[in-house]
């Protein structure tokens, strides 16, 4: 029996099963089995592995990486070529783009790499089409833009989300607040710090035993579902922010546009006429959470043209030094910082000081 057949069987059984307290345990088990099979699909067991598609993975350049995901012929290539001035082959038939086409834009001093990924079709997570490689590249992005056709958005949006979820990509979500620690002995130690609507000790045990884990500490710090627990146990999930780009707004009325504007995480544009690009870029900047640090050589004015761009969460002075050169941190005596992260301008700080957007820094060596 092939993997796909097994997956289909389990999905059918889940669809047949009623959802209530009595069946929660059974459904939890099925979900865990499904997650294991899915993982085998993504990373086939053993073997030397077939050749990866030609020209698929692209070297990471710049400060952030954005992937364009969408069905064929929704205007991903037009959007890329109008944003970055890169020519990605555009034609009126489906599947024009066959490999990843990279482009780079400079925005607010940061170099952002844009990747035009080939069109995803239904069943990509089961290895249909070029889907597997497309989604593997999507996993490495800092932000995913799902490009949708404004005339048929919702069906497409659900399908694409389903494909990405099946690959362990979680969009616009935070990692579940669950503590999970394997042990050598002592059985399963289950604590919940707040009321749980779905999981109880029994269900947790059955899900873990599916993974052959019999000794672990599990702490639930929020109301979690079986899926959240499986995500934590699998441990290969990536949490990526996502913006829905509704393309081809030149084909709808103003009233419809007003409705679209109220949807969260959503930007309507027209790639062909270049409408609303500034709004899209502004939103991309918000979602990337990049921090710009300006450098100031001793006795000179700060250089505002080329900031050092750091990702959110890695903005200490130490990270700044490592970004420039790995030996710099050894020679650092202290740093002088001007800006919103300090109380006085300038202020002497050590390597653990956390910098904020648009701070100016001067390094003093030993």
pLDDT digits (tens, 9 = 90+) for 37-83: 777 766 655 444 444 444 556 667 777 888 887 777 677 777 777 77
Compare 80 and 359 and report the one with higher pLDDT. Answer: 359
Show the domains of the chain with their CATH numbers: 3-42+176-234 (no CATH), 64-92+99-172+238-287 (3.40.50.300), 291-365 (3.10.20.30)
User: Is 245 exposed, middle or buried (CB count within 10 Å of its CB: 0-12, 13-18, 19+)?
Assistant: buried
Structure tokens at 39: 């993982």
181 Cβ partners below 8 Å, 6+ apart? 216, 217
pLDDT the model gives residue 271: 75
pLDDT the model gives residue 53: 46
For residue 108, the number of C-alpha atoms closer than 13 Å in the C-beta half-sphere is 18
pLDDT the model gives residue 49: 46
Q: 9 pLDDT exceeds 80?
A: yes
pLDDT band per the 50, 70, 90 thresholds, residue 140: confident
Q: pTM for this one?
A: 0.70
Q: 3 pLDDT exceeds 60?
A: yes
pLDDT the model gives residue 147: 82
pLDDT the model gives residue 220: 83
- Pairing between β-strand 290-295 and β-strand 303-311 as defined by DSSP bridges: antiparallel
pLDDT band per the 50, 70, 90 thresholds, residue 93: very low
CB atoms within 10 A of CB 80: 27
Crossing angle of helices 201-210/226-234, nearest 10°? 40
**In 235-316, alpha helices (H):** 254-261, 277-288
90-124 burial, b for 16+ CB within 10 Å, e for fewer? beeeeebbebbbbbebebebbebbbbbbbbbbeeb
Distance, in Å, from the CA atom of 52 to the CA atom of 176, rounded to the nearest integer, reads: 32
Helix or strand (DSSP H, E) at 148: strand 143-149
Assign residue 32 a region (left: φ > 0; alpha: ψ between -120 and 50; beta: otherwise): alpha
- Pairing between β-strand 110-116 and β-strand 101-107 as defined by DSSP bridges: antiparallel
pLDDT the model gives residue 126: 52
Q: Which of 100, 104, 162, 92 is nearest to 134 (CA)?
A: 100
Compare 178 and 52 and report the one with higher pLDDT. Answer: 178
Average pLDDT, the chain: 77
Q: Which of 218, 157, 160 is nearest to 187 (CA)?
A: 218
Structure tokens at 121: 């079709």
Distance, in Å, from the CA atom of 303 to the CA atom of 300, rounded to the nearest integer, reads: 9
* Length, in residues, of the chain: 366
Tell me how many degrees the CA angle 27-31-34 measures, rounded to the nearest 5: 135
């Amino acid at each position: 029996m092939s993997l796909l057949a097994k997956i289909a069987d389990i999905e059918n059984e889940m669809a047949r099963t009623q959802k209530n307290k009595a069946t929660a345990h059974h459904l939890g088990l099925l979900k865990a089995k499904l997650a294991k099979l899915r993982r085998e699909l993504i990373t086939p067991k053993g073997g030397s592995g077939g050749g990866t598609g030609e020209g698929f993975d692209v070297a990471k350049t710049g400060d952030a990486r954005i992937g364009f995901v969408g069905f064929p012929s929704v205007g991903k290539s037009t959007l890329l070529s109008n944003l970055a001035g890169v020519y990605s082959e555009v034609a009126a038939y489906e599947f024009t783009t066959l490999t990843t086409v990279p482009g780079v834009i400079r925005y607010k001093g940061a170099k952002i790499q844009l990747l035009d990924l080939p069109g995803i079709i239904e069943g990509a997570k089961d290895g249909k089409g070029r889907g597997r490689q497309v989604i593997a590249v999507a996993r490495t992005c800092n932000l995913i833009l799902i490009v949708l056709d404004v005339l048929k958005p919702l069906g497409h949006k659900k399908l694409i989300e389903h494909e990405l979820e099946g690959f362990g990509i979680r969009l616009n979500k935070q990692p579940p607040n669950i503590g999970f620690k394997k042990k050598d002995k002592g059985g399963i130690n289950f604590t919940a710090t707040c009321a749980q609507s779905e999981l109880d000790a029994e269900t947790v045990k059955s899900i873990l035993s599916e993974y052959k884990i019999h000794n672990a500490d599990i702490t639930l710090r929020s109301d979690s579902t079986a899926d959240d627990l499986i995500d934590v146990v699998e441990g290969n999930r990536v949490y990526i922010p996502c913006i829905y780009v509704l393309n081809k707004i030149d084909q709808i009325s103003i009233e419809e546009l007003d409705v679209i504007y109220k949807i969260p995480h959503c930007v309507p544009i027209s790639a062909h006429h270049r409408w609303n690009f500034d709004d899209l870029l502004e939103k991309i900047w918000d979602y990337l959470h990049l921090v710009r640090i300006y450098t100031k050589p001793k006795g000179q004015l700060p250089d505002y043209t080329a900031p050092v761009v750091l990702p959110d969460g890695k903005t200490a002075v130490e990270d700044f030094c490592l970004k420039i050169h790995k030996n710099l941190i050894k020679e650092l005596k202290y740093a002088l910082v001007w800006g919103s992260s300090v109380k006085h301008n300038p202020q002497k700080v050590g390597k653990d000081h956390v910098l904020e957007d648009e701070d100016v820094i001067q390094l003093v060596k030993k």
